Amino acid sequence: MLRTANRLTTKPKYQTWIRMNKLLIFLGISLLFLMVTFFPIPTPLRVLSGLLALPFLYIVFILSYSIYQFAGFGGNYQSKIHDVIVSKVDNRGGNILDIGTGSGSLIIKLAKKFPHSSLTGIDYWGENWEYSKDQCERNADIEGVSDRIHFLKASASKLPFQDGEFDVVVSCLTFHEVKDSIDKTAVAKEALRTLKPGGTFVFMDLFLDEKTFGDVNGLLKFLKKNVSSIQADKLSDTIPLPRILLNKKVLGHGMIICGRK
């Protein structure tokens, strides 16, 4: 009874994709340069310091605006993008894997839509991130789905699962962040390895970023060798996004790739 009461009085806490510590670092650097402009130093140096502050202030603005738009108290676009991913999952549900589960938002949405499913969420949850396994477990408990979700710390580059273990595999903005694999396309292939023949996959990532994934046509050709059907859509064609979120440093390179193995 007490646990039920706690669920009613406590709200889940879902972090956005953007790390607050990164925002604070850029804010600190920009303020430092601005402070120098007030020092009793030659005017050219003060002007130079002010100019050096501008790109950092621009980054702070982009990050702050993005956090607001992704958060539930703002545009709620993180949740909206997760809704798009959930909508593309096969209605049968089944055994579901979420790669890069973060604070649990996407996997909990899946658990609610597919009440007879069994779900696994993996993430590396390093100190560089504000997510944690404990936070995921608390959120799942608050949302009343903790009995069907198992959270596990693991790298997306080497998933601790058998071939074809899952009916559904999803991932949102994770592959490009994997640090222990230079080849991000190989990370996507590793995700597909765990999917059953005939199973559904939905991946959203910065697939249009050639520096990370190479030419997108080459990426799709590579993936087609491992699946029976595939569809790729720019994120901005799937869901209307505010102009600033279309910045290439945010979601401008975003693409959803889904299909069946």
| CA proximity to 234, closest of 256, 202, 217 | 256
Q: Which part of the chain is CATH 3.40.50.150? A: 77-260
| CA proximity to 131, closest of 247, 24, 12 | 12
Which residue in this structure is represented by tokens 């190479």? 214
Q: What is the mean pLDDT, run by run of 10 residues, along the chain of 261 residues? A: 52 80 87 90 91 91 89 90 94 90 94 95 81 91 95 94 96 92 92 95 96 91 91 94 88 95 92
pLDDT at 2: 43
Nearby residues of 46 by Cβ (< 8 Å), 6 or more positions away: 36, 37, 38, 39
Is 77-260 in CATH node 3.40.50.150? Answer: yes
pLDDT at 121: 96
pLDDT at 1: 44
| CA proximity to 102, closest of 151, 142, 66 | 151
pLDDT at 12: 87
pLDDT at 5: 47
The Cβ-side half-sphere exposure at 155, using a 13 Å CA radius, reads 11
Identify the bridge partners of residue 149 per DSSP, sorted by sequence position. Answer: 119
Cα–chain center distance at 235: 13
Give the number of other Cβ atoms within 10 Å of residue 58's Cβ: 12
